[in-house]
Chains A and B, each alone.
Chain A
C-alpha cells in the first residue's frame, strides 16, 4: 500500500488478532494510517474499538500479528523503549482524565512530565515550571483564564478541554482518543471533537478517535473506519458511509434496542 517514497505510516497493523478466552475480538486485521491523517473509528458497542486503542497504546499485547506505532514495532520494545514511545503518543480518555486536588496548571503540565527529571517534576508542584507553555495550551483550547482554577471548579466540557490542553503541552505526534466526548452534554460533544481535530490538524499530528455518535463523523475527519464482528466493515471518506450502510452497521445493536446517538 505504501510506496517507498511515502513517509513511514504513523500506525500500522498487520494480521492482528486478539481474543479474550474463547471470544475472538479481531481475527487478522490490517490497517495503515499515514502521518497527519484524522481518522474516526466507528462501530457498535463491543465491536472492539477500545480493545484496538489499548493494543495501539501498548497496554494490551495482541495475540498475533505485528503492531507498529510511529515506526516502532511494539512487540520488540523493552519496557524503557515502550515508555519513551508512549511519551510521543497522547491519550484522551472518556472521563477521569484530570487529577482531583491538582490545580489546572499542574493538570496541563502533567503532559510535560515525560520531558522533565524527577526533581524538576517535584519542584514544579511548588513553583510551576514552563507556565507559559501551559498558558498557551489553555489559550488554544479557549480557557486561558482557568490557569489557576481548581479542577473541582471546572465544568465537564472545560475538563475535557484541559485534557486536550495537556495533549498539546505533551507535544505528542500521535493522539489516540477513546470516545472523548461520550460523557459530555450532547451540545458540547461536537464542539469538543471539532476542537481536538482542528488543533491536531494545525499542528500536523495524527489522530485516531473512536466515536459512538454518528453525527460527529462530520467534525472534520479525513477518513472513517468502521469495525463490525472484529473486521473492517467500512474504510473511506466520511461521506461514503450512507444511511443503508449505517443501518447495517448498527443492525444488531438496534435489534437489542440500543439506538446509536445521532
Chain B
C-alpha cells in the first residue's frame, strides 16, 4: 500500500540521514554509553564548574563590565543598522517581483542575469560566517569593534537580503496586478503593493536577526573583535573564572533583555484580531499612530548613530589608512586565488559542520515539537476558549508554572550563544564534535520552541474546538488540530535553522572544535591565503547549495497570508 507509506517515507529519509551523520561526524559517545566514562565526565564537569566560585564584583571591574556590555550592544546596533540598508538594497536587486516586473524579451533576460548575479553576492555574504569575516577583517583592518561591526554587518546583510527578497517574491501576483494595470511604476508597485503585504513579517524577521546579532556580537570577540567576547576569552585563558562569571551575567542580561524587547514588539505586530492573545483596546487615531511610528524611527536612528560613533572611536588606531588599504588588497588577492587542488579535502572537512548541524537541528526540532505544547499559552491557559471547560485555580496555577518553566528553558537555552554552550560542554565531553553538536542542539532548541509555540498559538480556536469535541483531550487536540496546520511552517523554520547551524558548525571549528572552520583559521593564521581561500569557497558553495536545495524542496520560510 504505497499511499500508507506517505507518512513513513519522510521519517525514514530523516532517520537514514541521521544515521549517516552520526557515522560520519566522529562523535565520542563514550561519556553517554559507558557508565564509568559517564561518571568520569561528570567529575570533569563538576571540577570545571566548581572552579568558577563567586563572581567578581569589585566596582572597578563592574565599570569595565558595563563598558564592555555597551560596546557589545553598540556593535550589534551598528551592524544591524548597516545590514538593514545593505540587505534591503541587495534584496531589491534580487527580488523577481521587484526587478522583473512585467518586462519582456531581451530586457527581461538582462534583468534576470542581474538578479542571479546579485544573488551570488548575497550567497557569499551569507555563506561566510561572521566569525570568518571577523578573522579576515581583523587581519586586514584592525582589532576591535570596527572589525566586529563590519564582520557582523556583512553576514547579517546577506541573511536579511535573502529573507527580504523571499518575502518580496512571496507576495502573490494577483495583489500586484491591479497596481500594474493602473500604470504604477516599479517603485510605486513596491511601495503600495509589496510593502503593505509583507511589512509586518519583514519587521518581525529583522527583529529576530537583531537579537541574533546581539548574541553574535557578544561572542565574536573571541577572535579579538572587542566587546564582552574578547574579555571572556581572555579571562578564560588566564583562569580568572570569577571574572568570567560576572561577564557571563552581563552577556545574559544583554541577550535576555534584547529577546524580551523583540518579543514585546513582535507581539504588538500580531495580526489576527480575533485571537485572545491579540491586543485589546480602542483603535488609535491615524495621526497618533503616524507620530508614534515616526518617533520610533527617530529613536532607532539616534541609537544607530550613537552606536556607529561609539564603535568608530576605536577605529583610528596606529595604522595609516593607506597601509590598511594595502594589506586588505594583498589579503583578498590571496583569498581570491584559491588552491583548487585542495578542494576535495575542503569538501571532506565540510562533513563535520554538516553532520553537527543536521543532528543538532534534528534533536532541537524534536524537542521543540514536544516542549511547544507546555510553552503554548493557548493550550495551557486559554484552553477554555476551545474546550468550554472551567478548571480549578490550583490546576490553573500548575499549568502557569509549566508554561513559565517551558518558556524559561527556551529563553535560557537560546540566550546563551552556541559557542558558550560548546565551551561548557567541552568540560563534560572533552574537545571534539560531540560538545559542538549538543551545543547547537541546545541553542536551536530555545529558538525553535519559541517559533513553534508562536505557530501553535496562532491557530484559530474554532478549529481546535472541532478537534477537541471529537477527541476530548488537549494533547490530542495539539497533535491533530495545532501541529498539522503549522507543519509546513515548522519544517521551513527548522530548515532555516539547519542552514544557520551549518554556519555555526563552521564557527565552532574556528574556536577549536574541528572541521572546515578549524582548517580555515589554521591556514589563515599561517598566511596560506590560497588554502584559506579554498575553505572560504567551500563555505560559500555550501550555503549556495543549501539555499538552492531549500528552494527546490519548496521550503521558503517567508509566507504571506493574503
Question: B-contacting residues of A (Cβ < 8 Å)?
Answer: 57-60, 79, 82-84, 86-87, 89-91, 93, 96-97, 99-103, 106, 110-111, 113-114, 116, 118, 121-122, 125-128, 131, 147-148, 166, 170
Within 8 Å by CB of B476, from A79, A113, A128, lies A113
Contact in complex: A79, B389 (CB < 8 Å): yes
> Closest Cβ of chain B: how far from A99's Cβ, in Å?
5
User: CB of B284 within 8 A of chain A?
Assistant: no
Q: How far is the CA of A86 from the CA of B202 in the complex (A)?
A: 43
Smallest Cβ-Cβ distance to B469: which chain A residue: A91
Contact in complex: A96, B463 (CB < 8 Å): yes
Contact in complex: B471, A110 (CB < 8 Å): yes
User: CB of B4 within 8 A of chain A?
Assistant: yes
The B interface, classified by DSSP as helix, strand, loop or mixed, is: helix
Contact in complex: B3, A93 (CB < 8 Å): no
User: CB of B333 within 8 A of chain A?
Assistant: no
User: CB of B553 within 8 A of chain A?
Assistant: no
Within 8 Å by CB of B7, from A58, A79, A91, A127, lies A127
Kindly list chain A residues whose C-beta atoms are within 8 Å of the C-beta of B280.
none
Contact in complex: B471, A148 (CB < 8 Å): no
Smallest Cβ-Cβ distance to B459: which chain A residue: A99
With A101-B487, A114-B472, A125-B479 given, is the CB distance from A148 to B3 under 8 Å? yes
User: CB of B552 within 8 A of chain A?
Assistant: no
Contact with A along B478-505 (1 / 0, CB 8 A): 0111001111100000000000000000
Contact in complex: B8, A114 (CB < 8 Å): no
> Closest Cβ of chain B: how far from A83's Cβ, in Å?
4
Q: A110-B466, A147-B3, A148-B6 are in contact. List 9 more A-B contacts (CB 8 A).
A: A59-B465, A79-B389, A83-B389, A86-B472, A96-B462, A99-B463, A106-B484, A113-B467, A166-B470
Work out how many contacts link A and B, with CB atoms closer than 8 A.
92
> Closest Cβ of chain A: how far from B508's Cβ, in Å?
33
Q: Which chain B residues (432-473) contact chain A, with CB distance < 8 Å?
A: 460, 462-463, 465-467, 469-473
User: CB of B281 within 8 A of chain A?
Assistant: no
Question: A-contacting residues of B (Cβ < 8 Å)?
Answer: 3-4, 6-8, 11, 388-389, 391, 460, 462-463, 465-467, 469-473, 475-476, 479-481, 484-488
Kindly list chain B residues whose C-beta atoms are within 8 Å of the C-beta of A99.
463, 466-467, 480-481, 484-485
Smallest Cβ-Cβ distance to B484: which chain A residue: A101
Q: How far is the CA of A82 from the CA of B7 in the complex (A)?
A: 33
> What 10 pairs between A and B have smallest CB-CB spacing?
A113-B471, A59-B388, A101-B484, A83-B472, A102-B484, A126-B7, A148-B3, A101-B485, A79-B389, A113-B476
> Closest Cβ of chain A: how far from B337's Cβ, in Å?
50
Contact in complex: B473, A131 (CB < 8 Å): no
With A101-B484, A127-B7, A128-B7 given, is the CB distance from A84 to B463 under 8 Å? no
| 30 A-B pairs whose Cβ atoms sit less than 8 Å apart in the complex | A57-B469, A60-B388, A79-B389, A82-B389, A83-B472, A87-B472, A91-B466, A99-B463, A99-B467, A99-B480, A99-B485, A100-B484, A100-B485, A101-B487, A103-B6, A106-B484, A110-B480, A113-B473, A114-B470, A114-B472, A118-B473, A118-B479, A121-B476, A125-B7, A126-B7, A126-B8, A147-B3, A148-B6, A166-B470, A170-B470
Kindly list chain B residues whose C-beta atoms are within 8 Å of the C-beta of A116.
476
Contact in complex: A127, B4 (CB < 8 Å): yes
Contact in complex: B480, A86 (CB < 8 Å): no
Most chain A CB atoms below 10 A, which of B484, B485, B486: B484
Kindly list chain B residues whose C-beta atoms are within 8 Å of the C-beta of A148.
3, 6
Contact in complex: A96, B488 (CB < 8 Å): no
Kindly list chain A residues whose C-beta atoms are within 8 Å of the C-beta of B11.
126
With A100-B484, A121-B480 given, is the CB distance from A114 to B388 under 8 Å? no
Contact in complex: A128, B4 (CB < 8 Å): yes
Q: How far is the CA of A89 from the CA of B3 in the complex (A)?
A: 31
Q: How far is the CA of A84 from the CA of B471 in the complex (A)?
A: 9
Within 8 Å by CB of A113, from B3, B6, B460, B480, lies B480
Smallest Cβ-Cβ distance to B463: which chain A residue: A96
Contact in complex: A106, B480 (CB < 8 Å): yes
Smallest Cβ-Cβ distance to A148: which chain B residue: B3
Q: How far is the CA of A260 from the CA of B391 in the complex (A)?
A: 41
Contact in complex: B479, A122 (CB < 8 Å): yes
Q: How far is the CA of A231 from the CA of B240 in the complex (A)?
A: 81
Kindly list chain B residues whose C-beta atoms are within 8 Å of the C-beta of A100.
484-485
Q: How far is the CA of A99 from the CA of B480 in the complex (A)?
A: 8
Q: How far is the CA of A84 from the CA of B462 in the complex (A)?
A: 20
> Closest Cβ of chain B: how far from A94's Cβ, in Å?
10
Within 8 Å by CB of B479, from A79, A82, A111, A121, lies A121
Q: How far is the CA of A76 from the CA of B423 in the complex (A)?
A: 58
Q: How far is the CA of A102 from the CA of B480 in the complex (A)?
A: 8
With A110-B471, A128-B7, A148-B3 given, is the CB distance from A97 to B476 under 8 Å? no
Smallest Cβ-Cβ distance to A91: which chain B residue: B469
Within 8 Å by CB of A131, from B4, B462, B467, lies B4
Kindly list chain B residues whose C-beta atoms are within 8 Å of the C-beta of A90.
470
Q: How far is the CA of A102 from the CA of B486 in the complex (A)?
A: 10
Kindly list chain B residues whose C-beta atoms are within 8 Å of the C-beta of A86.
469, 472
Q: How far is the CA of A57 from the CA of B484 in the complex (A)?
A: 26
Kindly list chain A residues whose C-beta atoms are within 8 Å of the C-beta of B3.
147-148
Kindly list chain B residues whose C-beta atoms are within 8 Å of the C-beta of A103.
6
